[in-house]
Amino acid sequence: MNPEHVVVLYLYAALFVVFGISVYGIVIKPHIVKKLIALSILGDTANTLIILLGYRTLPKPWPPVFPELEPSLELIEEFTKLSVDPLPQVLVITAIVINMAVTALLAFLAIQVYRLYGTLDFRKVLKLRGW
């Protein structure tokens, strides 16, 4: 096993631990803001995982941006051989901004819940609703 592969395995393990913690936070924690924090951690874990999938286990991979504005044929070939996969990064760029917008929307809803019921504990909210 190459040292790069070992690092990748550790990264996978760390990401799955964080994933488990965030799922725990979403399901078990009764406070709505804590659920929101766990949800944003879950989104970031997913994004990191997607970027990790597009990495290349080369000693020195390139970022997917051409270093020159007038490339030669050799440079294009070298770029194709050395650069990391651009597709996961494209997916993540949009996912981050959409994630931020959705988090903001949920924060607004949480504020509205507090305004109407005076609490952010969803068990108390359910009791106040009479469930």
Partner 1 sequence: MKGVKILFIPLMGLVVILIMLILSYGTLGYSPAEYIRSLGEFLLRQSFNVFEKEWWVGSPEVITATLWDYRGLDTVYETTVFYLAVIGCVSVFRLLQPKLAEITKEKEEYALTVIVRVATKIVLAVIILISINIALHGHITPGGGFQAGSAFAIAPLLAIAAFSRYFVEKMGLKINLSHALRSLGLIIIALVALLPLFYFGYLLQNQAKPWSPFPGYPIEVSFLELSGSLFHFDIGEYLNVAMGFLAIFLLLSLPERVFKKDMEVVKSES
77: left (phi > 0), else alpha (psi -120 to 50), else beta? alpha
> Looking at the DSSP assignment, which residues form a beta bridge with residue 62?
83
Q: Is 19 in the site for partner 1 (CB under 8 A)?
A: yes
- Interaction with partner 1 in 50-79: which residues (CB under 8 A)? 52-58, 63-66, 68-71, 73, 76, 79
Rounded distance between C-alpha atoms, residue 71 and residue 46, angstroms: 35
Residues 6+ apart with CB under 8 A from 92: 47, 50, 51
Q: If binding is defined by CB under 8 A, does position 44 make contact with partner 1? A: no
User: Binding residues for partner 1, per CB under 8 A?
Assistant: 8-9, 12, 16, 19-20, 23-24, 27-28, 49, 52-58, 63-66, 68-71, 73, 76, 79-80, 83-87, 89-90, 93-94, 96-98, 100-102, 104-105, 107-109, 111-112, 115, 123
